[in-house]
């Protein structure tokens, strides 16, 4: 089974107890576990995502993927790791030995420095996403769109407001693009069970995020896309 918490797109998080149950299940059912831990270091409000490998016995049933993409702002560098069970690490290594000659060595050397170097940059990256999350959630709330703030990841997973629900996530995403000039990911893109939601990625600065939220509010109010940097208008219907 393939798990991933903190989760993309739903932003769902789990505690260590969940992984303990997964290890028990995998042991009983003789199932392998792959845990994709891509958002290991993007968590807020004091929450620390647990590693699957913290569970005693986890290494007997599975592996975890840890990535530098989000933790160190290195997405295009393509550096991650498969860690844990010797057999799984072994088969992956054997397959890869037929396919590639490894990551460009200077990238590996710089990645080593990232992992061993000062960790303040990780705190700063985390703080940046937390702040954007708050800006986005507050902006949505002002538009009358109440969404629970995520405890981790660089996303906000938002149920489509009732008045637009019937459109479905693809049509609603297109409407946001046309009317509010904001691009989001339709939930159904993450599988049929994602229908009814859209995903916001926290990849624009505070000012642009605020502008996007004002445009969405204007669209909900039926006044079209807001101009750039329009001062906040009065409260809207909740």
Partner 1 sequence: MSDFPRIDRLPPYVFAEVNDLKMKARRRGEDIIDLGMGNPDQPTPQHIVDKLIEAAAKGRNNRYSVSRGIPNLRRAIAEHYEEHYGVQIDAETEAIATMGAKEGLFHLILAGTGPGDAVLVPTPNYPIHSYAAVIAGAELLTVPLLGAKTTSSTGSAAPSSATGRGRSS
Q: Which of the residues 173 through 232 are near partner 1 (CB under 8 A)?
A: 173-174, 177-178, 181-194, 197, 200-205, 208-209, 211-212, 215, 228
Give residues 6-35 in contact with partner 1 (rule: CB under 8 A).
Answer: 7-10, 12, 25, 29-32, 34
What count of residues does the chain have?
238
Nearer of residues 107 and 221 to partner 1, judged by Cβ: 107
Give residues 121-180 in contact with partner 1 (rule: CB under 8 A).
Answer: 121, 125, 128, 154-155, 170, 173-174, 177-178
Nearer of residues 102 and 222 to partner 1, judged by Cβ: 102
d(CA 30, CA 24): 10
Nearer of residues 46 and 234 to partner 1, judged by Cβ: 46
> Taking the complex as a whole, how short is the minimal distance between the CB of residue 145 and partner 1, in angstroms?
14
Nearest residue to 156 (alpha-carbon basis) of 35, 2, 7: 7
Nearer of residues 112 and 223 to partner 1, judged by Cβ: 112
Nearest residue to 61 (alpha-carbon basis) of 43, 41, 85: 85
Residue 201 is encoded by which pair of tokens?
């990625």
Cα 202 to Cα 49, 125, 219, distances in angstroms: 19, 12, 20
Report whether 188 contacts 148 (CB < 8 A).
Answer: no
């Amino acid at each position: 089974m393939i798990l991933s918490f903190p989760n993309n797109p739903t932003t769902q998080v789990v505690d260590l107890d969940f992984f303990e149950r997964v290890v028990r299940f995998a042991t009983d059912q003789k199932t392998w576990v792959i845990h994709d831990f891509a958002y290991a270091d993007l968590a807020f409000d004091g929450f620390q995502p647990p590693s699957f490998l913290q569970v005693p016995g986890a290494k007997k049933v599975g592996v975890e993927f840890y990535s530098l993409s989000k933790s160190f702002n290195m997405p295009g560098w393509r550096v991650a790791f498969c860690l844990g069970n010797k057999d799984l690490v072994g088969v992956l290594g054997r397959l890869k030995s037929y396919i590639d000659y490894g990551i460009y060595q200077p990238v590996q050397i710089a990645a080593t420095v990232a992992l061993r170097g000062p960790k303040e940059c990780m705190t700063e990256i985390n703080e940046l996403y937390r702040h954007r999350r708050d800006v986005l959630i507050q902006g949505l709330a002002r538009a009358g769109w109440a969404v629970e703030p995520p405890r981790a990841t660089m996303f906000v997973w938002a149920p489509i407001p009732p008045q637009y629900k019937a459109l479905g996530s693809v049509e609603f995403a297109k409407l946001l693009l046309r009317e509010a000039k904001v691009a989001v990911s339709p939930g159904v893109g993450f599988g049929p069970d994602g229908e009814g939601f859209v995903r916001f990625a926290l990849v624009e600065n505070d000012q642009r995020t605020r502008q996007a939220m004002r445009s969405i509010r204007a669209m909900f109010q039926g006044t079209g896309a807001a101009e750039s940097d329009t001062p906040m208008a009065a409260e809207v219907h909740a």
